Structure 1
Amino acid sequence: MPSAASQTSTKRTNPAKVKRAAAHPQRPGQACQAAPGEYIPVVNRAKCEGKGDCVEVCPYDVFDVSTIAPADFQALGFMARLKVRVHGMQTAYTPREDACLACGLCVVACPERAIQLVRAVQP
């Protein structure tokens, strides 16, 4: 079993996905030019299947894929809860969303189209 250190170091190991996402003609965002936290990635849990493409392409380590929280699971409709169960109760979370520079790689890499970049509310 790999150690936690080796798991962290292999978190983003798919340069082909990064290259494909970077070249996508409909890539949203600010080409990594936004200020940190100006945009945040929002995950639609009803669509997310926890495949981890977002983790593999994000250059800012914004995403983690983990077991869906009970409150998030209960907030889903019946069909979405069923889908989440079929896909192993995994979903993407954004614990470091304040590090996002709006490159848009996650949006185009997500096979379920479950991620949107949203401008953060300015105080």
Structure 2
Amino acid sequence: MRDSSTTACKQPPGVIVPAVDLRRCEGKGDCLIVCPENVFEIRRIDEADYRGLGVLHRFKLRVHGMQVAYTPNADACRSCGLCVTACPERAIKLTRAS
């Protein structure tokens, strides 16, 4: 169940955004579960992103069902960091929005 509390958030929305390393992400969805701002979605990797990966990472994605995390609502991120600590693959980092 999602905790809708934003008391742990450190920034106004859009200052910091999550960046997902598609070479590490296995699409398990822990980020989706813990994010109070609904920043993430788990879906099939885009073809362009898939082609940009090396052979080993492509194989890994196939083993894990071709699912990865994307951040369609990255501008809603308030930098609570819950996604970073929840990700078992350490595939998420918080970065300053450009």
Match of 1:52 among 29, 34, 37: 29
Q: Deviations over 1:34-88 (max 9, x none)?
A: 0111001000000000000000000000000000000010011110010001000
Could you tell me whether the CA contact under 8 Å between 2:2 and 2:36 is conserved in 1? Answer: no
C-alpha RMSD of matched pairs (Å):
1.1
Q: TM-score, normalised by structure 1?
A: 0.74
Question: For residues 115 and 45 of structure 1, what CA distance do their matches in structure 2 show?
Answer: 9
Residue 37 of structure 1 aligns with which residue? 14
Partner of 1:37: helix, strand, or coil? coil
Q: How does 1:1-123 map to 2 (within 5 A)?
A: 13=1, 31-121=8-98
**Identical positions, percent:** 56
Q: Deviations over 1:11-43 (max 9, x none)?
A: xx267xxxxxxxxxxxxxxx4120111001000
> Relative to total residues, which structure has the larger helix share, 1 or 2?
1
Consecutive unaligned residues of structure 2, counting only runs of 5 or more, are none
Higher relative contact order (CA 8 A, sep 6+): 2
Q: Which has the larger radius of gyration?
A: 1
Letter of the 1:119 counterpart:
R
Task: Report how many aligned residue pairs link the two structures.
Answer: 94
Question: For residues 40 and 81 of structure 1, what CA distance do their matches in structure 2 show?
Answer: 25
